[in-house]
């Protein structure tokens, strides 16, 4: 029987032919060698599928799954089901990593016994290549479950991104954690993953390059995505309630609510400005505030999640080029 790899690298792929070769080259040239790559082609209509198949023919540790387009959440969930590694690494197919990315994260887990290893990253301009290192960082070290949860709930020094981490697979499989089909799906579930980890090893070093693209989730914010952002906060609250953790982490969760409110206000203002229409701006601001107050209310229940759909109403572009 073939020996299972230590790490399964999971990568959803959809129409990223411009960036995919750089991503794949960074993965096949890792200094750590005991790993597999599971690339899920999510119904790409460009050359992405052909690029993946070409790499799979060259390297026997690459598996390509072709499926119809259903979004990256379902692509990740499918790959998790088929992953053979003890650890999972999630990579976005328009990004790339340093050669020692897997090795340093794996070593951090093995040397400390941590279920999760976490590194930092560079913002990279996809057009000009300019680099900016993420500024809010922890020192290299090991965090207890409680310390890590407080930080990841605040979503600043530790963030709920899936792609700058190495995560023991059982944190998904043993607790039946799946990515929900929505935007900001990582925020919705990563707190659950951290809550079950015994400890988290932090490497204060940037090993990942995040390409800032105009077509990314943050670059294409709309009313639905803003509502999904708020709903992800509600799902986080529901997890804390269901696991009797809300009282323990109430202050940290409150920090997440306040941060989300500020970001959503800015996103809403940006939507109205883009459409040159300020009509409904105040209402949308109030709706965001009200929805997030629901998330932080003392008596939050599962029924409240239904109140977090369609929080924001999309502004319409005016016919004439002026602002109301």
* Residue pLDDT tens, the chain, 324 long: 678 999 999 999 999 999 999 999 999 999 999 999 999 999 999 999 999 999 999 999 999 999 999 999 999 999 999 999 999 999 999 999 999 999 999 999 999 999 999 999 999 887 777 888 988 888 899 999 999 999 999 998 999 999 999 999 999 999 999 999 999 999 999 999 999 999 999 999 999 999 987 766 555 789 999 999 999 999 999 999 999 999 999 999 999 999 999 999 999 999 998 888 888 899 999 999 999 999 999 999 899 988 888 898 888 754 555 444
Instruction: List the alpha helices (DSSP H) in 11-144.
Output: 17-28, 48-58, 72-82, 101-112
Nearest-10 Cα torsion for 232, 233, 238, 244: 130
Every domain of the chain with CATH number 3.90.550.10 lies at: 7-212
Name residues whose C-beta falls within 8 Å of residue 142's C-beta, 6 or more positions apart in sequence: 112, 114, 199, 200, 201, 202
Based on the number of CB atoms within 10 Å of its own CB, is 34 exposed (0-12), middle (13-18) or buried (19 or more)? middle
Write down the CATH number for the domain with range 7-212: 3.90.550.10
Closest CA to 205 of 101, 95, 303: 101
For residues 6 and 106, the answer to whether their CB atoms sit within 8 Å is: yes
Spatial contact of 324 and 277, defined as CB atoms under 8 Å apart: yes
CB 27 within 8 A of CB 107: no
Q: Are 117 and 194 in contact (CB under 8 A)?
A: no
pTM recorded for the entire structure: 0.91
């Amino acid at each position: 029987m073939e020996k299972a790899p230590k790490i399964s690298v999971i990568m959803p792929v959809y129409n990223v032919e411009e960036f995919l070769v750089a991503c794949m080259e960074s993965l096949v040239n890792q200094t750590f060698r005991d790993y597999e790559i599971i690339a899920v082609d999510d119904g790409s209509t460009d050359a992405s599928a052909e690029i993946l198949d070409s790499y799979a023919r060259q390297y026997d540790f690459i598996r390509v799954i072709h499926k119809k387009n259903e979004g990256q959440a379902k692509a990740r969930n499918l790959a998790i089901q088929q992953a053979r590694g003890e650890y999972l690494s999630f990579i976005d197919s328009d990004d790339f990593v340093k050669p020692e990315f897997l090795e340093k994260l794996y070593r951090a887990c093995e040397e400390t016994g941590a279920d999760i290893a976490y590194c930092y990253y560079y913002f990279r301009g996809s057009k000009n290549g300019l680099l900016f290192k993420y500024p809010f960082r922890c020192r290299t070290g090991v965090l207890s479950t409680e310390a890590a949860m407080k930080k990841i709930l605040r979503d600043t020094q530790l963030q709920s991104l899936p792609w700058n981490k190495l995560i023991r697979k059982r944190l998904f499989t043993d607790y039946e954690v799946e990515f929900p089909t929505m935007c900001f799906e990582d925020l919705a579930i990563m707190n659950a993953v951290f809550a079950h980890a015994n400890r988290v090893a932090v490497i204060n070093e940037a090993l990942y390059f995040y390409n800032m693209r105009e077509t990314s989730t943050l670059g294409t914010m709309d009313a639905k995505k803003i509502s999904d952002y708020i709903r992800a906060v509600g799902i986080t609250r529901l997890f804390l309630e269901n696991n009797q953790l809300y009282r323990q982490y109430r202050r940290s969760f409150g920090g997440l609510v306040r941060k989300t409110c500020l970001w959503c206000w800015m996103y809403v203002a940006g939507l109205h400005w883009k459409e040159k229409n300020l009509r409904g701006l105040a209402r949308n601001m109030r709706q965001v505030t009200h929805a997030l107050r629901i998330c932080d209310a003392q008596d939050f229940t599962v029924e409240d999640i239904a109140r977090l759909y369609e929080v924001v109403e999309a502004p319409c572009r005016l016919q004439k080029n002026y602002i109301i």
